[in-house]
Structure 1
């Protein structure tokens, strides 16, 4: 092939090169992170993040959940297709510490807007029983509300300040108040990623926060007076919820739902159940109920579901976060003898 016939001069070659570069820049910046309908493409690590993205983004976003319904999120391994979808996002929403494989993929991603929910509220440490370890309070202690909202809006930029949160309980979404804090931060980041629809994101964020505030009020009033404050659960995911509503969580295992309890812990729980007049051993929908049923059988207690809302399935007692949380409230009221 005679190259000179196609590109006769250096000037023409330069023009062609510049044109191709311009076209490439357009396709990788203007179109990157946006679907065919012009919606912001959001990758959400698992259901609590997916719910925020859908509620706040509304019609202006296309949400891809990395964790499919029925999959236990802690052990998720990403397939190449999922990694490609992640890297094609306009915004990634995740909660660091829940899914190691997802955390690693996000760290390696070049996506500009990576929103780690752990930077949008204060994480805390709880012991196996769910009690608060006050020696580990970090982050936003002493902030005014305005200062807290400013910190939340910083999103990923505040991540370095939270490096000392390693080992903290990540289940902030089970406290409606903390979840509302996260929602505000997510809304602020969506406004930055897609400023053309900032007003919509603000409106949707306000609406979601109002729902979560109403949910908090229902929990606060519904659990105020009860025969006991102690509940036993297979998965120690409810530390924030217990602290918010003055309850005592006794976990059979730890924060990791797959961890096995020791014989000493089982014996201890049997004593606690008798002393604190516990009526119910709770289990979750995405993990085995074997340990819960064994303990319940040995102690003469009943079992019920207390859903940590890591995913919605056909076994969930509700179709979304709000509905399942209200089912959790009803289960706690029954178990605790709420009046």
Structure 2
């Protein structure tokens, strides 16, 4: 490509670095291609043809999110090939909450300086997340913004689109007292609450390299563990039982996210001893002297998603989730009342 500008380069933007980054990332993007993709990288828009087989009333479902201050951990560890998984996960895990199947994804990377190899590593993670969720990476944007971001830092955000048959959209108003709430285990902190995490540990390279026996590895490795992508497990679950509602446990923890999937007049009653809290959350609470109520109102505490089914379908639902490679267990039940979430 005969495109360059020395003047723009002197201002801090190297367009040729952008072209190199695109060439380096093509091998990763190729892994995500599905039959619906009609365009390659480089166009002004990503084209995708929906397969309407078995769908009589298609409804598009969209979601967008970023990685947040978890990126600060990646900067300090100079590890950039997993945060893309987080970016995809935060989007696709939202749209599957209404029963939609992800179709395609786009990313946006804003950098202080374009280092093509680093951009390629970031995109390799995005591609891995797309592969895990069955979504095609059909486009994106890399913006070099000198003077806006430090030269060694970047921001990463994404956008996902899925589709669901209108008649199969989950209906939370079908829930009733006595229905069972099932937990699907998380892989760790996922991509929420990192402003508090960084404050608790006064995060720096030395602290991230510290090995904790309770964690079995370094603090940095645990904190940078990618967010679980639950698409395959949820799709398997939807084919196995009637699912009434799904909640993605993100920022705001139990108290903010679970009520979003509950109708008026119903609350979730959760036994504290039923929650399989991961060691990292115990460490955060102990190190920061954080009240348990705040922990459950900030972090996922080891529960990445919750699912509500009829009590007679609970065992079958757990079996379906486990057979898809995730771990599930009974977390609680729905009860009458407008308390949102009761942990007792």
Same-fold call, TM cutoff 0.5: no
TM-score range, shorter chain: under 0.3
**Structure with greater helix share of residues:** 1
**Structure with greater strand share of residues:** 2
Q: Give the structure with higher Rg (CA).
A: 1
Q: Give the alignment's TM-score, normalised by structure 2.
A: 0.25
Structure possessing the higher relative contact order (Cα contacts under 8 Å, 6 or more residues apart): 2
Q: Give the alignment's TM-score, normalised by structure 1.
A: 0.25
